[in-house]
């Protein structure tokens, strides 16, 4: 019996059930173990590891055999004794705007909801007049804020396309955010499975969902995040895709107030070396200053709409 750990949120459980179905289809017995994480208890907690720490403790303690994560939630560095053992086929990695036919169609000063510093930086990099409002909670909670008359009404929200697809939510006014600054979070659209190093039986079972090409892309994207020291105070994006002869990787670092950003795109055949190269070039292109300004100038406990006046104003 494989004990499969998952957060208790609706989206996390959908993801875990998808993995469990694949494991059962391969002949394995599966029990889903629901775990409440720090992020579930306090969504405003600043540490990126808030979504995975309790699951990782369960792995270390032997209470679960594998943990299912949205790859974008997994910090660049893992605890000793744990490793990522599989990655799924990637679903749509893009962010989507809901509530307006386009970003340009929003009125001046429109209230746009997101809990992501990266998304806020990218939105403001395209429309400095927008008011970015902290929008936390599950997908249905956020969608409800688009309804006229809601006490915390928003003109639009930004969510991950993959999460909507997994939940079967298809609002009529979903519009992908396109353009050079809209680079997805590292691992966005991918499910990854974490296990104990040396537990070959569990790792072998997990590979029933494994996609080798996307695994390589995930390694490249995570290499960018590690080299940049990305965390919840960082507006960092990285997206890799297979191309003939290797991989194409785009990286992004932005100022939280949208005033500046660094972009780079390279191709190569070694995913982790490619990620390190893109990160190095981003740092040289001003990314180091952008990251430092964000860490020094933002109170992560404050709503995003209240943070803009405190953000540094680095050059692009």
Residues belonging to the active site: 72-73, 118-119, 136, 142, 232
Q: Measure the CA angle with vertex 162, ends 235 and 262; round to 5°.
A: 25
Q: Which residue, 144, 170, 172, is CA-closest to 157?
A: 144
Contacts of residue 258, Cβ cutoff 8 Å, sequence gap at least 6: 120, 121, 122, 123, 124, 125, 126, 128
Distance, CA of 269 to chain centre: 24
If we measure between CA atoms, which residue out of 37, 33, 24 comes closest to residue 62? 33
Beta-sheet pairing, 235-243 with 156-160 = unpaired
Distance CA 294, CA 255 (A): 7
Residues with Cβ < 8 Å from 124, sequence gap 6 or more? 130, 132, 256, 257, 258, 259, 308
Alpha helices in 62-211 (DSSP H): 117-126, 139-144, 161-167, 200-206
Q: Considering only CA atoms, which of 125, 78, 92 is closest in space to residue 239?
A: 92
């Amino acid at each position: 019996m494989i004990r499969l750990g998952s957060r208790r949120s609706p989206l996390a459980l959908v993801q875990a059930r998808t993995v469990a179905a694949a494991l059962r289809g391969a002949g394995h017995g599966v029990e889903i173990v629901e775990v409440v994480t720090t992020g579930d208890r306090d969504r405003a907690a600043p540490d990126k590891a808030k979504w995975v720490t309790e699951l990782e403790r369960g792995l270390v303690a032997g209470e679960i055999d594998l943990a299912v994560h949205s790859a974008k939630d997994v910090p660049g560095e893992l605890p000793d004794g744990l490793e990522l053992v599989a990655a799924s086929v990637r679903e749509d990695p893009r962010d989507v705007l809901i509530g307006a036919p386009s970003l340009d169609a929003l009125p001046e000063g429109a209230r746009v909801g997101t809990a992501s510093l990266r998304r806020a930086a990218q939105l403001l990099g395209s429309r400095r007049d927008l008011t970015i409002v902290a929008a936390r909670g599950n997908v249905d909670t956020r969608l409800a804020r688009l309804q006229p008359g809601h006490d915390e009404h928003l003109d639009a929200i930004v969510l991950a396309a993959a999460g909507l697809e997994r939940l079967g939510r298809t609002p009529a006014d979903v519009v992908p955010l396109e353009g050079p600054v809209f680079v997805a979070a590292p691992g966005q659209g991918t499910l990854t499975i974490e296990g104990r190093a040396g537990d070959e039986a569990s790792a072998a079972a997990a590979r029933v969902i494994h996609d080798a090409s996307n695994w390589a892309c995930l390694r490249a994207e995570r290499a960018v995040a590690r080299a940049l020291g990305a965390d919840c105070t960082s507006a960092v994006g990285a997206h890799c895709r297979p191309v003939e002869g290797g991989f194409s990787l785009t990286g992004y670092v932005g100022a939280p107030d949208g005033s500046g950003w660094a972009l780079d795109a390279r191709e190569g055949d070694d995913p982790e070396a490619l990620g390190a190269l893109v990160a190095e070039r981003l740092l040289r292109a001003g990314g180091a200053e952008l990251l430092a300004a964000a860490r020094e100038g933002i109170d992560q406990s404050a709503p995003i709409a209240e943070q803009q006046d405190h953000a540094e104003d680095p050059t692009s």
